[in-house]
Amino acid sequence: MKAQGKTIVVTGGGNGIGRELVLILLAKGARVAAVDISEAGLAETVVKAGANADRLSTHALSITDRISVEALPESVMAKHGQIDGLINCAGIIQPFVRLKDLEYEAIERVMNVNFWGVVYMTKTFLPILLGRPVAHVVNISSMGGFCPVPGQTIYGASKAAVKLLTEGLYAECIGTNVKVTIAFPGAIATDISKNSGVGPGKDEAMADGKAPKFKMTAPVDAAQMIVDAMERDAFRVMVGSDAAMLDKLARIAPKKAAEVIQKQMKDLLPD
């Protein structure tokens, strides 16, 4: 689905990849409804949109609140008159601790945002999208959704759930006007740790001497890859060279892939 002239709802639009998705879609001539829990983050997105902000609406809410999500289409329609696409980008990580040390509160929070938030948004908007001439759903999973990351076991489980949810949705939408894409970002230079409330921002994390030594993809580059995939109706897209490499390795030698990630990430776990 080409972005120009379409109205696309983007969750996580107040920071990181989500914000860059909003800005790229606006630059391509789309109208965008940016959703985020942070009003301040959304306000900054509006500023960065500049002259394109007249085609941008912002909606501050938690995607874990099903009642608020179910009320969202009416608000978006009031602003834009139509809804043609949905990009589920909002997500959080867990504290970098082993499963045995992870509190249930943290487990439930990650699953609520990363899985149930996607379920609520998708179920709410899908009937509207099925009524459009052309429509698209993009769900953001993660490299951690197909390759285990120690210290992010629940995060990985939530993203693996998004993977299969999206693949099932793709199969269900065959023969309809709705196209479906699943994206798997690798390591992206965002403030996801800080925004998840589990650690420092990207600059501090990379400067503390503990960060894994691999190249990170810039958020704007990640967003561009995702939008390009949507516009060519791709089934799946690997976002970053690390995700592409591990995707191949995980299919050929899954045990080896798990060991490679463990070696890279072990210093982030407490002893």
* The one-letter amino acid at 25: L
Whether the CB-CB separation of 86 and 179 falls below 8 Å is answered with: no
Q: Which two tokens stand for residue 80?
A: 């834009």
How far apart are the C-alpha atoms of 84 and 8, rounded to whole Å? 6
Contacts of 263 (CB under 8 A, 6+ apart): none
Q: Where in the sequence numbering do the catalytic residues fall? A: 155
How far apart are the C-alpha atoms of 16 and 271, rounded to whole Å? 30
How far apart are the C-alpha atoms of 95 and 8, rounded to whole Å? 32
- Which three-class secondary structure state does DSSP give residue 154? helix
Rounded-to-10 torsion of CA 85, 224, 254, 166: 0
Whether the CB-CB separation of 14 and 42 falls below 8 Å is answered with: yes
Classify residue 199 as exposed, middle or buried by CB count within 10 Å of its CB (0-12, 13-18, 19+): middle
Contacts of 99 (CB under 8 A, 6+ apart): 153, 154
178 bridge partner residues: 135
Q: Check residue 252 and give left, alpha or beta (phi > 0: left; psi -120 to 50: alpha).
A: alpha
DSSP H or E run through 15:
none
